[in-house]
Structures are given as structure tokens and as C-alpha cells.
């Protein structure tokens, strides 16, 4: 669990809740927003989330024939790109703990004609049901902050990676440009819930989003957690002034 959590409780946004309750509450959030998830991503980030994901895909340096696990893959935008890159001899597993999000991803990718080298799996990142040393690449984009026990999830990701494999974590982080934090806070706690209410009828889920970002480990802390999980050459790249960061680590 994260620093600051007790043995029996963890944070859900700014609330402390029983450990066993967080996964249920997070599931309710994503069940609520699944059918409007992509629309809200474009609105909230002014489309910039597409550039963040493109940067992550480029940093992944996926090669043909590789095996990729995309955790918290949601509607499948990363998985779709990886599917083209690994080719017919490779494999991409689009995985998510939330059934509603997984259904959205499967429907979108099937409609797009991307299915030949794709598999879908409903999994918990803390206990991945895959063999040791199985994947060349594991990615998790905007999902790690929703995991109850992040350290356990990072260890699980490390286990399923092949030697020489790499993990990429794309996640909201802590702004590093002077003055950006105050602007970002004002936007997050006013505009996001308002947009959520107007587009999805659910302001609370987007208030949780803003709170969950503030409770997520900052860049250096997450890097240290990856090192503790066994990853080597762990580093990170700040995007948009540190509002988002891409973390990368290797298993050797």
C-alpha cells in the first residue's frame, strides 16, 4: 500500500476507506464513465492525451514479434498501436480490471478491424494471471494511481516480464514548472467535475479523478518504488511541465 495508508485502510481520493473497499469504489467510477470515457479524455486534456500516449508508444520501441501486456488498457488506444507494431507474429493482451471498460475496448477494436493478434483479459494488476518471464513489454497508462497496492502491482509486472523486458508507466504526476501547480489545481477541482456532470451526469467520479492524482506518488517516489520492485535503469520523463510523467524500467 502507499505511504500514509494504515494496515487496514487506504485512500480513495482524499477519503480513507477499508482496503477491501477501494477496488469496489474504483470499479463504480469506471462503470459510470465507461461509455463516455474517450470523449471526456479529449475534453479534459484538450486532446493532449493523444500526444502523451504517442510519446509512450515511441519510448516503448516495440519490435515485430514481441509480446505486449497493456494493463488498465481501457478503450484500447495503446493496444491498437501496439497491435500494428508487433505484427501477425506478435501478441498484445489488452487487460483491465473493469468489465465495462474492457467491453468498450473490445467493441472499439473489433469495429476497427484490429483483432488478429489481440487478446482480452479481465485481471487485477496486483496478481497477474500470466506465467513468469512472459512479456517483452508491460504498459499501464493512467491506471496505476487507482491500484490499491501499487508495490504489489509493480512486483507482479516485474515477474511477468522477460529478462530484457521493460515497463512503461504513463501517469499524472506533480507539476514542476513554477506556478503551474496552482493553475492545474484550479482547473482540476472546478472544470473537471463540471465537465463530468455535463457530459456523463457524474461530477463525483471526476472529483475523485482530481483527488486521486494528488494522492499518487510524485516522480521520484514512483521511481524509488520501481527500483524496490526490482527494475533497473529506472528513469522518468516529464511531459507538459510534469502534469504527466512516463516512467520506464527494465528487468535484467
Question: Per the annotation, does 72 bind a ligand?
Answer: no
SS3 of residue 180 by DSSP: helix
Judged by DSSP in three states, 52 sits in: helix
C-alpha cell at 206: 471526476
In this structure, are residues 71 and 125 in contact, taking their beta carbons and an 8 Å threshold?
yes
- Best CA proximity match to 213, nearest among 192, 234, 231, 197: 192
Phi, psi for 27 (deg, rounded to 5): -60, -40
9 is in an annotated binding site: no
The CA distance from 101 to 34, in Å, is 5
Q: How far apart are CA 32 and CA 26, in angstroms?
A: 10
**Cβ count within 10 A of residue 224:** 12
Is position 127 annotated in a ligand binding site? no
CA distances to 91, 106, 119, 152, 168 from 84, rounded to whole Å, are 10, 16, 14, 31, 18
Q: How many CB atoms lie within 10 A of CB 3?
A: 7
125 annotated as belonging to a binding site for a ligand: yes
Q: Would you list which residues are annotated within the binding site for S-adenosyl-L-methionine? A: 75, 96, 124-125
> What residues are designated binding site?
75, 96, 124-125
Amino acid at each position: 500500500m502507499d505511504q500514509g495508508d494504515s494496515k487496514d485502510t487506504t485512500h480513495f481520493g482524499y477519503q480513507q476507506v477499508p482496503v477491501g473497499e477501494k477496488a469496489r469504489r474504483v470499479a463504480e467510477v469506471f462503470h459510470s464513465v465507461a461509455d463516455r470515457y474517450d470523449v471526456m479524455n479529449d475534453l479534459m486534456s484538450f486532446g493532449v492525451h493523444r500526444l502523451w500516449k504517442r510519446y509512450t508508444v515511441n519510448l516503448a520501441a516495440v519490435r515485430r514479434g514481441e509480446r505486449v501486456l497493456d494493463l488498465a488498457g481501457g478503450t484500447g488506444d495503446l493496444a491498437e498501436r501496439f497491435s500494428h507494431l508487433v505484427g501477425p507474429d506478435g501478441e498484445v493482451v489488452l487487460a483491465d480490471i473493469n468489465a465495462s471498460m474492457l467491453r468498450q475496448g473490445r467493441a472499439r477494436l473489433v469495429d476497427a478491424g484490429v483483432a488478429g493478434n489481440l487478446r482480452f483479459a479481465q485481471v487485477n494488476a496486483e496478481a497477474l494471471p500470466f506465467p513468469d518471464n512472459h512479456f517483452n513489454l508491460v504498459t499501464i497508462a493512467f491506471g496505476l494511481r487507482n491500484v490499491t497496492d501499487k508495490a504489489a502491482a509493480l512486483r507482479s509486472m516485474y515477474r511477468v516480464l522477460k529478462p530484457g523486458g521493460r515497463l512503461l508507466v504513463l501517469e499524472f504526476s506533480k507539476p514542476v514548472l513554477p506556478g503551474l501547480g496552482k493553475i492545474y489545481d484550479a482547473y482540476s477541482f472546478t472544470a473537471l467535475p463540471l465537465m463530468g456532470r455535463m457530459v456523463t451526469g457524474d461530477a463525483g467520479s471526476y472529483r475523485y479523478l482530481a483527488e486521486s492524482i494528488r494522492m499518487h506518488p510524485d516522480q521520484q517516489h514512483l521511481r524509488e518504488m520501481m527500483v524496490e520492485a526490482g527494475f533497473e535503469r529506472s528513469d522518468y520523463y516529464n511531459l507538459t511541465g510534469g502534469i504527466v510523467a512516463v516512467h520506464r524500467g527494465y528487468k535484467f
